[in-house]
Amino acid sequence: MQTFLGLPKSKPGDVAAGGIAIIGASNATPYQPGTPSHAEQGPAAIRAASQRYADWHEHFDFDVDGQLLNANFGPVVDTGDVACDPATPEHNRSKIEEAVSSVVRAGAIPVVLGGDDSVPIPVISAYRNDGPVWIVQVDAHLDWRHERFGERLGWSSPMRRASEMPWVSGMVQIGLRGVGSASRGDVDDAKAWGARIVTARRIHAAGMEAALGHVPPGANVIISLDLDALDPAFMPGVAAQVPGGLTYWQIIDLFDGLAARCRIVGCAIVELAPQLDVNGVSGVTAARIACNAISAIGQSRETD
């Protein structure tokens, strides 16, 4: 298996304290029972796109104004893929939660590469003994459905399920736009629970500060980033393209702002569908976002 950035391999439970661990999760709960996720090849595509930087760990990265991999961040490793089978969603969720929990218990920070947008449910579940946490969701969609087609743990429901977890203290939802599966009742429920909703239009008008101001200083934050949050011009390789999305630079602004304001304790980057990509641009952009997430995690630790 190619590792992300050519990083050393490790098992989740063997990650060094203070380190960062890449985890691949190709399937959680499929859209249709027994059918592979449309984003099943997402983790492999992100790893493949990252290979162009595999020999450049000590090179200067202008996006983060520093070295691509800073030794001060602690050891960064790749723990491989969680064994997922679209025919066994309950097993998939259990194994994803177990892998993330192992990394967190070791005192390290997981960066999960998906996989469909049901993957964040077991990722956030893994923090049940390590809360409280805030969720910063970056997505074109609200993801507050009670169920869709009878499935409560699918890709329309991760933020609804997160809101039911006692260790989740708050939520900021960034980049929403267009029409998705959410009803007016879902939006009302999200607002009534306390979710701070900052649309893509608002970000374009006021900048990322419009969202960052809702994150409590010093909070422990899990980033849940669905790649369809980005505009299709930058991220065509997703299943639910919606015009008017965020830019690559706005994602960097978000990461920088979170790193200066709080402690990033986890990140899930999901929904890359490489079969829908154009000239590999989505894979490269997703790989760069993952690099930026690693940098932001390291910077947030330095500002503790």
| pTM more than 0.85 | yes
| pLDDT for 34 | 72
Q: What is the pLDDT of residue 30?
A: 78
Print pLDDT tens along the chain (304 aa).
799 999 999 999 999 999 999 999 998 887 777 788 899 999 999 999 999 999 999 999 999 999 999 877 789 999 999 999 989 999 999 999 999 999 999 999 999 999 999 999 999 999 999 999 999 999 999 999 988 888 888 889 999 999 999 999 999 999 999 998 889 999 999 999 999 999 999 999 999 999 999 999 999 999 999 999 999 999 999 999 999 999 999 999 999 999 999 999 999 999 999 999 999 999 999 999 999 999 999 999 765 5
Number of folded domains that form the chain? 1
Residue 139 structural domain: 4-302
Q: Is the peptide bond before 132 cis (omega within 30 degrees of 0)?
A: yes
d(CA 3, CA 24): 10
Quick one: pLDDT at residue 180? Answer: 85
CB 284 within 8 A of CB 292: no
**CATH number reported for the structural domain that contains residue 215 in this entry:** 3.40.800.10
d(CA 85, CA 170): 32
